[in-house]
């Protein structure tokens, strides 16, 4: 048997041992594997790509990173900082507390002259907490009102064309007091119509069911009042956390 005949015979044997069905299965498995690799490469490219000025490009790889997930998280922090209008954090740093990131937080202490800023007509943001307050605390049609009525008034409140207002928790309301100022403890250059009087919080007293906490903007003290007592109303706008009540 010549060499060419031997080679042809081997080719014939190989062709008979692999059926068309097996070939299709092998081809399908190969395609799925290649698709999976493509998805991983595409996702990694999106994360590591340059998403705008101020964010380090993928080429500037920091070989000090031993874990690639740390680099990915840093890139995500840089992207978040850009979206929030803040300078991109340095490599290895987080975005928490960055200037421009005004999501609700309690990790800063600005002086009174720079603590509050008007974010839209009728609304003031406290940079110390990220809470948005009614610039001019509402006055009920009949003046100070009961606790139940105060909650309803805030829920129906519209400020600057926005809804979603509520009566603040006692902790939130107390945080509004600026100790460096005289009563009513908030800057008159920012807020208007604030009374040196007691304001309702949404926090009910743990003792009994007929009283709730109020905050005095005349003495900066927290106390409890009967829910039927007429107090002033100051609404806040932010995500509501059950743990605060």
**Amino acid 11: pLDDT:** 52
Q: Which residue has the higher pLDDT, 107 or 7?
A: 107
- What pLDDT, on the 0 to 100 scale, is given for residue 82? 58
Per-residue pLDDT tens digits for 59-75: 444 455 456 666 777 77
Helices (H) and strands (E) in the chain, counts: 6, 7
Task: Write down the pLDDT at residue 68.
Answer: 66
- CA distances to 37, 134, 151, 238, 239 from 169, rounded to whole Å, are 51, 15, 11, 11, 12
Predicted TM-score (pTM) of this structure = 0.59
Res 86 pLDDT > 70: no
Please state, rounded to an integer, the average pLDDT across all residues of the chain: 75
Which sequence spans correspond to the domains of the chain?
Answer: 3-83, 112-244
Q: Which fold has domain 112-244?
A: Mannose-Binding Protein A; Chain A (3.10.100)
Higher pLDDT, 27 or 89: 27
Confidence of residue 229 (pLDDT cuts 50, 70, 90): very high
pLDDT digits (tens, 9 = 90+) for 4-30: 555 455 555 444 455 555 556 555 555
Determine if residue 85 is left, alpha or beta; phi over 0 gives left, psi from -120 to 50 gives alpha, anything else beta. Answer: left
pLDDT value of residue 7: 47
Range with the poorest average pLDDT among 3-17, 142-156, 183-197, 218-232: 3-17
Q: How far is Cα 89 from Cα 209, in angstroms, rounded to an integer? A: 48
- Higher pLDDT, residue 52 or 211: 211
């Amino acid at each position: 048997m010549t060499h060419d005949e031997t080679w042809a015979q081997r080719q014939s044997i190989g062709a008979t041992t692999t059926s068309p069905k097996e070939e299709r299965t092998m081809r399908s498995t190969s395609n799925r594997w290649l698709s999976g690799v493509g998805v991983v490469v595409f996702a990694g490219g999106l994360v590591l790509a340059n998403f705008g000025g101020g964010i380090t490009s993928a080429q500037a790889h920091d070989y000090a990173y031993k874990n690639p997930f740390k680099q990915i998280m840093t890139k995500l922090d840089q992207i978040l900082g850009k979206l929030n209008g803040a300078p991109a954090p340095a490599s290895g740093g987080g975005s928490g507390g960055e200037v421009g990131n005004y999501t609700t937080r309690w990790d800063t202490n600005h002086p009174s002259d720079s603590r509050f800023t008007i974010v839209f007509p009728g609304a003031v943001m406290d940079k110390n907490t990220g809470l948005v307050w009614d610039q001019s605390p509402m006055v009920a049609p009949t003046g100070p009102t009961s606790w139940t009525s105060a909650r309803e008034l805030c829920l129906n409140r519209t400020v600057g064309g926005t809804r979603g207002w509520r009566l603040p928790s006692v902790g939130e309301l107390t945080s509004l007091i600026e100790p460096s100022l005289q009563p009513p403890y908030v800057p008159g250059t920012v807020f208007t119509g604030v009374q040196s009087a007691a304001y309702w919080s949404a926090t009910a007293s743990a003792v009994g069911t007929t009283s709730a906490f109020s905050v005095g903007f005349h003495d900066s003290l927290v106390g409890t009042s009967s829910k039927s007592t007429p107090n002033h109303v100051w609404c806040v706008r932010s995500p509501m956390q059950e743990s605060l009540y």
